[in-house]
Structure formats: C-alpha cells, structure tokens
Structure 1
Amino acid sequence: MAEAETRGAAMDMPAHRRWLEAEGRRLLDFSKASRLSSGGFCALDMAGARPQGAVADTIVTARMTYSYALAAMQGLPGSVPLVDHGLAALSGLLRDGENGGWYEQDPGSPSGGGRKKAYVQAFVALAASAAAILGRPGGRDLLPDVLSVIAARFWAEDEGAMRESFSADFGEEEDYRGANANMHSLEAFMAAFDATGDSVWLDRSLRIAERFANRLAREMRFVIPEHFSLDWTMLKDFHADKPDHPFRPYGTTPGHSLEWSHLCLKLEAGLTAAGRPAPAWLAECAAELFAGGIRDGWNRDGATGFVYTIGWDGAVSVPNTAHWPLAEGITAAALLYRRTGDGDYARWYRRFWDYVDLHLIDRRQGSWWNEVDADNRPSERIYQGKPDLYHAYQPTLTPRLPIAASIPGALARGELQD
C-alpha cells in the first residue's frame, strides 16, 4: 500500500501539527533580527545578520508586518510591537507623501526609492489587511489608503488586471503586464475582502484568476505565461539574457503554477462563504495547475528538487531550487487534499516537507536557505541572503486551517487547529 494510505495523511497527525507549530516559531524568532531601528525591516544575510548599510525594503517590511500579524493573532509574544513597527514605516518612511503610493525602498537610500510597482502595492495591501483584521489602529488607517491607490492608479477595469509599474510621480507607465504582480494582487484582494467586507475585491480577484488561470494558462497546457506587453502580446523572449532574475525571469516559473493553484481554491472558498456562486473552473484549474507545476518543475533531469525556470523549448533554464516553490507546493497540496480527499495530494505534501527538512532548513544558523543549486548546496545565484518570513511561515499554518479566502481571515475566526 502507498505510504499515505497505510499511515494516514501527515497533516492530520497531532505530532506533525506540533512540528509545524514549532517550525513556525523558529522562523519567527530568526526573523526578528531584520527589524531596523531606523524604521521598517531589511533582508538578512546567510548568517542571519543585517548587512552593513542595510535600508528598509518595502516588500520585506510588508511581508514581515503581515507575518507577525498572523503570529499576533495566535497570541505569540513580541509580535504586536513588530506589526506596529512595520505599519509605522509603511505609513511614513516608505510612503510617498507627495504623489501617493509606496516606494520600493527607503527613498533616502543611495539608490533612491525606485518606481511605483503593483507588486509592492499588493504586499502593502496584504500587510494592511492583516493588521486591520488584527485590530491595529495603524492597519485600519493604512488599508483604505493603499486600496484607494490601487483602485485609482493600478487597477485596469477594462482589462480586469493590474497595471505593472510607474515612475515615482506616476507620469510614465511601463510597457509591460506581468503575471507575478497580478498573482500577488489576487492574494491581497482576498485579504482585503476579509478585512473590509467589500465584494469589489472578490470581483477583482475573480477577474484576475479568470484571465490568468482559466484563459492564459489553459491555452498553454496549464503553464502560466509570465510576461506581456501593454496590449497583452506574450513576450516569450523577455529577459532571455536574465534567466535568473528574481522577479521576472525568462521563460516559465513552475513554482508559480503551484501558487496559482492554491489561490484558485482560496478564491472558490471565499466566493462560497460569501454566498456567491463559484465557477467550476476554479477547482479544475487548481488541479491542472498543480499537475502542470509538478510535471515541469519537480525532479527534472534526474536531479532532486524543484527547478526555478523552464525555457520555451521545454529545457531547464535555471536548475536551482528556490525555497518558495516548496512552500507554495505544500500549501497547494494541503488544500487540494482537503478539497478532494485524493491521497496523492497527501503524498505530495509529505514529499515536499521531506525535501524542505533535508535540504532547505538551516539548523546551524536558522531559517531556510533561500535557494540551493542542482546538487542541493546553498546558493545565491537568484536570491541573496536568507528569505523573509512570508513564504516559509505560511505553510506552517495552512495545513492546520480550513480552505479560506485568506489566512488572516481564517485565524481571526479562530479556525486554527492545534
């Protein structure tokens, strides 16, 4: 008999749930070092230290604020002050008080604040939603601010998708549309719905999922095409000279298929909980995207791991395994198992955690390796230093929660299983 059939699904075992809780707390403790006394949070180096001259990064600050809000909802000490620390930076240091919107980083840094990116605004909205659900005053103030910027500047109603980026003064729009920013916007919009009850955020989530999961991915054998021009012409050669770009790599990114997979199930659950019909294609796409991600990304060329990118010729482009596809795969497998009862998903869930335990967890210096090479040795080809909490912390929670539109919403309802 298969492993999951003889011993049950790991995610349902009390000892496994205790392991998840302990690993989550280990990650939370490690990441506290990223707090900057000058405001916000920064990325950490491979040893878990703040790099010399580190400045506040908006994505890291938003992700840390979000993650510690999840921890605060569980009553974990030290979490609320870190949420408020992040909110203060997102409401002040990292916000453009003149033009609106959020910089990529501290604008007082040597390289300046950078462009106004949909990807960044989405994470600010995610953090603000979680903090508002937690009941932090800074979150309740920040949330309408960021949602109004998204609605006025970034949401393209005629396209049902997000505009990608602008110059700092919003005077010049980038000639680009991207799947990655839209994927994280979908996630943020579902959390915003849980925080506000405003169904427009469910409507927008559904339109994003319909375009990318039900149309574009379906047309491509359930591969997520990533890069487009303003008129939605696919850019297959985009960043052909930058195959290991951390946000916009050449080709396809199989890990994103896993991420879109569980977002489809969360959207289905959110629509159902709101008393609205959920299209049948959401569950179908969740299963097909998971299968496509496994087909294209797992154990390619006989190597153990989940490759970063695949070229349009089908060959592996970057063989390194980043930590985040494993984290997203764990969540996708857990939710698909909950949704279908199919033991094959429980086996993938166990397989992914086995890989994390044996190859990604750094038991000497803490946290997880951000990436490993094809031989599972720590690498910094794609990402530098140790990852922030966002990706690694969530799979310590999702297997203990029912399928829901957002993690903060489910935690606030007291749905976490011990």
Structure 2
Amino acid sequence: MSDVTSTPSGGAGPDAEWLDLECRRLLEFGRRVIHPLGGAAWLGEDGSPDLGRPVHTWITSRTVHVYALGALLGVEGCTPIATAALAGLRTTLHDDTHGGWFGAVDADGAPVGTGKSCYDHAFVMLAGSTALTARLPGAEELIGEATQVFQQRFWDQGRGRVLDEWDRAWTAPAPYRGLNAAMHSVEAMLAVGDATGEAVWHDRAGRISEFVVGLATAYDGRLPEHFGPDWTPHLELNRDRPDDPFKPFGATVGHGLEWSRLLLHVEATLGTDAPAGLLEASRLLFDRAVADGWQVDGAPGFVYTTDWDGTPVVRARMHWVAAEGIAAAAALHRRTGEGAFAERYAEWWSYVVEHVRDAARGSWHHELDTTNHPQASVWPGKPDLYHAVQATLLPRLPLAPGLARAVASSAWA
C-alpha cells in the first residue's frame, strides 16, 4: 500500500490528498457515461458505455448526484455530465403521461417493466437535491416534481414508512414492502431537507430510522429486508434465488453497514429531536456485519448475504459493501472517537486498494469471487460510481449536513 499514507486522525489509511486523487480518478473513468438516448449508460469494465443495456433511472440519478458533487468540488468537465444526465431524467426517463419516472427504457426509448418503484424515485430526489445545491439548470424543477410525487405516492404518513412500488398508472400499490427502498429514502430525505430547508424531510427520515432501530434490536443486528403490506417480515423470500441484485434472500451485510452510517447522519441532523437508540443501533449493526460478513471464509472481504443464524449464503464480494464498510467505520470513529473503528477503516481501505480498486482500467471491480478475483455473476461491468465516490468523500466530512451541502460549504475535516 505504498500509495496510501496515514490519516489525520492517526490510524493507518489514506490521507485527504489520496482520497481526493482517488475521487478524481473515479470521476475520470465515467466521462463517457451519457447515453445517446439521454440519461446515463451502464458502464463496462473499461468505462465504455454498454448501449445494449437499458437506460436506468437509478444509474442516471446516481450519475447526476456523483457528477454534481464533482462540480461542487471544482473538477473540470463534471458540470456538463451532470447536466446531461439530469436532462435525461426530465425527458427520456420521465413518464409524461402519468407522471413520475420509469425504472428504465430500452434501446428504442420504450419503458422496461410495468412498475414504478420507490427505490428509483428516492434516487431522483437525491439527484435533484445535489443538483439544486450545485445550481444545475433544471434542478429546481426536478426536485419540485420528485418531492411532490414521492410525498403523494410513496410516503405513508400513518406508518412513517414508504410504499415500495406502484403500477405505471398509479392505480394501486404493490403489496411488497422493502427495507432497501426505505434506506435510500432516508438518504434522499436527508439530502432534500438540506437542499430545500424543509425540515419535514429530516423528520420523515427520523421516523423511518426509529423503525429500523426496533428491527435491529429485535433481530440482533440482522435486518429483515422484505415485508408484507402490514410490514410483517418475510424472512424466506427469494431463498430460491439468493443472489438477486435488489431483493436477495436473508440478511444483506452491506445494508447493515449502510444503515449503521445513516442512523448517525439522522442523529447528527435531528440533534435533540432524534429518536432514541440511534448510536446503539448503529454499533449493533456494524458489529453484526463485521462478525457475520468480514473474512468469515478464510479470505479477506465481506460476503454478500447470510442466513438468519449468520451463516454465509452468497459469498461473492461486492465493491459497494466494502465502500459502505469504509464509510460506516469513518462515521462511527467520528461519532465516538474510538480507535477500533479507525483500525477497521484502515483495514478495509487496504483491502480495497489490494483487491477491489482497478488501477489498470479504472474504477473498482464491482464483484469479486471468494478468492478476490473479478467475476460478474450479479454485477457485470462497472455500472456506476456512486458507492466508490462517496467512500472517498464521507470520511472527510462531518456527519451533518449531508454530502452536497457539506462539500458546497467546504466543511472538510
């Protein structure tokens, strides 16, 4: 790890200069991301756009978010990319008939699938929030519609949670409820509140987080992901296809880490109005993810999922899990000052540099096998930059405000 030096906080790991260079290297990789149809393309191993794949709303939204952050950082060329991706959200991927956003469109621009998902719409809100902070053209209109649609269609005020999916014409919600959509809704709600000054979005993030605190406690840190319409957990869902990229069976190690960090952002944002137990749940989720997922089969890396007793189910190593582990360790170290979290932070950056970071072709390998060699059983290519870029930024910023607002205000550690 000759190109990684000590952190200002004292633990071994990348310093601020290295993190900045890695962020810029990642942004360079994705410069060909804009699809001819509009929106963002799925990227291949070398950063070339895979035009045979659909244009996805979640990838396009993440591209707006990442390159708007690049614009806020002053990285040359990021503003045009973010602006072009944002235009795709307002045209190619937008449902002009019924409102909201398709999940994806095919090579002819026709919608793929029949549903509209909370997951996608949460990312549109995140994109709009970061774009608004970066003062991109069209950002105000985008976030205005995105928040209106989300509030009307996906926010369940009575329960303080989110609906997961509707049909295209918004006639009825699907019965499935999911924690993945809830997680990215919390992320988006924090960003919307930061960008617009509307504190109600922060309050909504707090209500979802309170539910997650209860789940973490009830299930010893292994969060159920799938639920029925009354939020009864469906613990056996997709046991027959455990490596599903969005609805895998069992406990998802990376989501435990991601929630661990998000709960601390909610705590820092809401202050004395935050729900009780956020720090304790954050620790529990982090410790469980490490115990169940890190290096449990003899090789470094996090397994993807486990059964409800902690037995690994899908042992592939996903790049995003390592990125979220880094970010969670940094957040807990910032919150507590405890050296154990700094040690994990350094250990996982060492792993990323040795195994995950692709120094030859750019970006990070999105999926590795159990011996840490690249594979593509779940994630072919290198679809987007969101998790890796955030891993280079979050450790340098406070827990609140969120990424865009903190970068814009130069609130560096």
TM above 0.5, yes or no, is yes
Partners of 1:331 and 1:323 lie apart in 2 by 13
Q: Secondary structure at the match of 2:398?
A: coil
Query: Counterpart of 1:410?
Result: 406
Q: Which amino acid aligns with 2:11?
A: A
CA distance in structure 1 between the partners assigned to 2:359 and 2:368 by the alignment: 15
| Equivalent residue, structure 1, for 2:112 | 112
Displacement of 1:17 in angstroms is 1.1
Residue in structure 1 matched with residue 10 of structure 2 by the alignment: 8
Q: Which residue of 2 aligns with 1:390?
A: 386
Q: Spell out, residue by residue over 1:390-410, the C-alpha distance to the aligned partner (whole angstroms, 9 max, x if none).
A: 100001111111121410011
Q: Letter of the aligned partner of 1:102 in structure 2?
A: W
Q: Which moved more, 1:96-105 or 1:408-417?
A: 408-417
Q: Distance in 2 between matches of 1:312 and 1:349?
A: 26
**Corresponding position of 2:65:** 66
Q: Distance in 1 between matches of 2:154 and 2:83?
A: 26
* 1:337 alignment counterpart: 333
Question: Cα distance, 1:113 vs. partner?
Answer: 5.3
**Which residue is equivalent to 2:182?**
182
**Following the alignment from structure 1 to structure 2, what is the Cα–Cα distance between the partners of residues 233 and 280?**
23
Q: How does 1:85-96 map to 2 (within 5 A)?
A: 85-96=84-95
Q: 1:110 to 1:83 in 2, by over 3 A?
A: closer
1:187, 1:22 → 2: CA distance? Answer: 25
User: In the alignment, does 2:197 pair up with 1:197?
Assistant: yes
> Post-superposition shift, 1:176?
0.6
For 1:269 and 1:69, how far apart are their aligned partners in 2?
24
The one-letter amino acid paired with 2:157 is E
Secondary structure in 1 matching 2:105: coil
Which range moves more in the overlay, 72-81 or 308-317? 308-317
Q: Deviations over 1:307-353 (max 9, x none)?
A: 00102343211000100111111111111111111000000000110
Check conservation: 1:190, 1:201, Cα contact below 8 A.
Answer: yes
Q: Report what 1:346 is aligned to.
A: 342
1:110 shift after superposition: 6.0
Aligned to 2:299: 303
Contact 1:369 1:387 survives alignment (8 Å):
no
Tell me what 1:170 maps to.
170
Please give the secondary structure, in 2, of the residue aligned with 1:300.
coil
Instruction: State the 1:54 CA deviation.
Output: 3.7
Instruction: Find the aligned partners of 2:343 and 2:195 in 1 and give their Cα distance.
Output: 34
Mapped to 1, the partners of 2:411 and 2:114 lie a distance apart of 39
Partner of 1:368: 364
Offset at residue 114 of structure 1 (A): 4.0
**Paired residue type of 1:120:** D
Name the structure 2 match of 1:247.
246
- Write 1 or 2 for the structure with the bigger share of helix: 1
Q: Deviations over 1:61-91 (max 9, x none)?
A: 0001000111111111111111110111111
For 2:315, which of 310, 316, 319 is the aligned residue?
319
Describe the shift of the 1:173–1:86 C-alpha distance in structure 2 as closer, same or farther (beyond 3 A).
Answer: same
Q: Is the 8 A contact 1:372 1:378 kept in 2?
A: yes
Alpha-carbon offset, residue 238 of structure 1: 0.4
Contact 1:371–1:382 (CA under 8 A) maintained in structure 2: yes
Equivalent position of 2:225 in the other structure: 226
Structure 1 unaligned segments of length 5 or more: list them. none
TM-superposed CA distance for 1:19, in Å, is 0.9
Tell me the distance in 2 between the aligned counterparts of 1:313 and 1:290.
16
In the alignment, the residues of structure 2 paired with residue 112 and residue 135 of structure 1 have an alpha-carbon distance, to the nearest angstrom, of: 31
Mapped to 1, the partners of 2:234 and 2:274 lie a distance apart of 31
Equivalent residues of 2:92, 2:109 under 8 A apart: no
Q: Could you say which residue in structure 1 is the equivalent of 2:3?
A: none
In structure 2, what is the equivalent of residue 130 of structure 1? 130
Aligned partners of 2:41 and 2:51 also within 8 Å:
no
SS at match of 1:116: strand
Q: How many residue pairs get matched?
A: 407
Q: Secondary structure at the match of 2:236?
A: coil
Whole-angstrom distance in 2 between the partners of 1:360 and 1:72: 26
Once the two structures are superposed, residues 35-77 of structure 1 have per-residue CA deviations (whole angstroms, 9 ceiling, x without a partner) of 1132111111223222243442111100010001111111111
Are the equivalent residues in 2 in contact too, given 1:267–1:405 (CA < 8 A)? Answer: no
Does structure 1 conserve the Cα–Cα contact (< 8 Å) formed by 2:216 and 2:284? no
Change in Cα spacing, 1:140 to 1:333, as seen in structure 2 (3 Å) is same
Q: Is the 8 A contact 1:62 1:126 kept in 2?
A: yes
Amino acid paired to 2:44: D
Judge which range, 58-67 or 300-309, deviates more. Answer: 300-309
Which residue pairs with 1:42 in the alignment?
41
State the AA in 1 paired with 2:356.
L
Note the residue ranges of structure 2 that are not aligned, 5 or more in a row. Answer: 1-5
Q: CA RMSD in A?
A: 1.8
Give the share of equivalent positions with the same residue, in percent.
42
Secondary structure of 1:69's partner?
Answer: helix
Report which stretch shifted further, 400-409 or 370-379. Answer: 400-409
TM-score (norm 1): 0.94
Structure 1 residue identity aligned to 2:32: A
Contact kept? 2:179, 2:226, Cα under 8 Å = yes
- In 1, the alpha carbon distance for the partners of 2:34 and 2:92 equals 14
Farther off after superposition, 249-258 or 284-293: 284-293
Q: What is the CA–CA distance in structure 1 between the aligned matches of 2:362 and 2:298, rounded to whole Å?
A: 29
Residue 304 of structure 2: SS of its match in structure 1?
A: strand
Whether contact under 8 Å (2:210, 2:275) holds in the other structure is no
Q: Contact 2:102–2:111 (CA<8 Å) still a contact in 1?
A: no
